[in-house]
Amino acid sequence: MSIPPLPPPLESLGRRPFSFYPPVLNIEHNEWVFQHATWSEILVMNTKTRAEVWVPRRFLGEVSRVEEPVMIVGLKRELEYKAGTLWPHERRIIEMRKAVNEGPRPAVPDSPPGRASVVGIRLENGAESRIGKLVAGVLVLGVVGVLLIVNVFRGRHDVKNVTFVPILQQALGLNAQDDHKTVLRKLGQPMEDRWRSETGELQYRVLIYPERKISVILMGRDRDSMRYIGAMDENWKSVDSVQLPGGGNTRSMLNNMPRF
């Protein structure tokens, strides 16, 4: 019967990476390479953080014979990294203090694995009442919030509460560069053609299209330089405006324009 070969010592790994098992606590990346050795310790370096730590030989276990998926170096104790040094990790169990006049606590026998027993928890009447009131209050607030949301949503979609601002520029195909001839070519002859002059400054021209229920407004310093500035509906409310060269648009001008 052949005897399996002994696992190689850690010094024989050279620069091959390996992992500790169990992993060193407080260090996320568990991949190391051998650096240096003394009679009592070995120096290893983490391949990601480049941190170097000394590992006492008394904590080292066997080295795996198989390198796939990674070489494993066993640790005889679970170690943790603190203040640049490896220390044995101790899992502390905190025992609750005994109450006054309490006798020794009986040892709990080991129970076979199985389903955990269900422990009944009984609340005092006052606590039950408070929890019930809290749940009821949350339910009431939820119902009120849903009703408010429904009312707001319904109000936004109620035709009576909606103010429509028609935008006709795309339908009319007019812009701030269109003059009287361009308007006639795009919309045809108007039913009425009116003028209004302001002393020494601007002149206004309105072309009325009853079939379209709009009045097209032109403005300029003289009749040859008049350009399109917007359109009004049958109630003389602006339904289209154009952008001004300096910013803004002509909507406020149209809204303050008297009917003529």
Res. 44: pLDDT tops 60: yes
Q: Is the pLDDT of residue 104 over 80?
A: no
Higher model confidence: residue 1 or residue 51? 51
- 10, 34, 19, 23: which is closest to 72 by C-alpha? 19
Sequence spans of domains, the chain: 10-88, 169-255
Distance CA 222, CA 226 (A): 7
Checking if the pLDDT of 85 tops 60, the result is yes
Confidence of residue 225 (pLDDT cuts 50, 70, 90): confident
| pLDDT exceeds cutoff 90 at 136 | no
Instruction: Compute the average pLDDT of residues 226-254.
Output: 88
Q: Which amino acid is at 114?
A: G
Mean pLDDT value of segment 234-252: 86
> pLDDT tier at 227 (50, 70, 90 boundaries)?
very high
What is the mean predicted confidence (pLDDT) over 113-141? 68
**pLDDT at site 162:** 46
Is 60 exceeded by the pLDDT of residue 193? yes
Q: How far is CA 117 from CA 104, 111, 112, 221, in A?
A: 24, 11, 12, 95
Distance between alpha carbon 56 and the CA centroid of its chain, in Å?
A: 48
Tell me: pLDDT of 200 over 60. Answer: no
Contact present, 106 and 116 (Cβ < 8 Å) = no
Helices (H) and strands (E) in the chain, counts: 4, 13
21 with 31: CB under 8 angstroms? Answer: no
Q: Does the pLDDT of residue 232 top 60, yes or no?
A: yes
Q: Which residue has the higher pLDDT, 259 or 5?
A: 259
In whole angstroms, give the CA distance from residue 10 to residue 71.
11
pLDDT of residue 45: 94
Give me the residues paired with residue 43 across strands.
36, 54
pLDDT at residue 216 tops 70: yes
Residue 255: CB partners within 8 Å, gap ≥ 6? 237, 238
Q: Mean pLDDT score of the chain, rounded to an integer?
A: 79
- In this predicted structure, the answer to whether residue 206 has a pLDDT above a threshold of 90 is yes
Per-residue confidence (pLDDT) for residue 205, from 0 to 100:
93
pTM, 2 dp? 0.37
Strand partners, 91: none
* pLDDT of the residue at 108: 56
pLDDT at 63 over 60: yes
Query: Residue 92: its pLDDT value, please?
Result: 74
Q: Which residues pair with 238 in a beta bridge?
A: 232
5: pLDDT strictly greater than 60? no
pLDDT at 43: 93
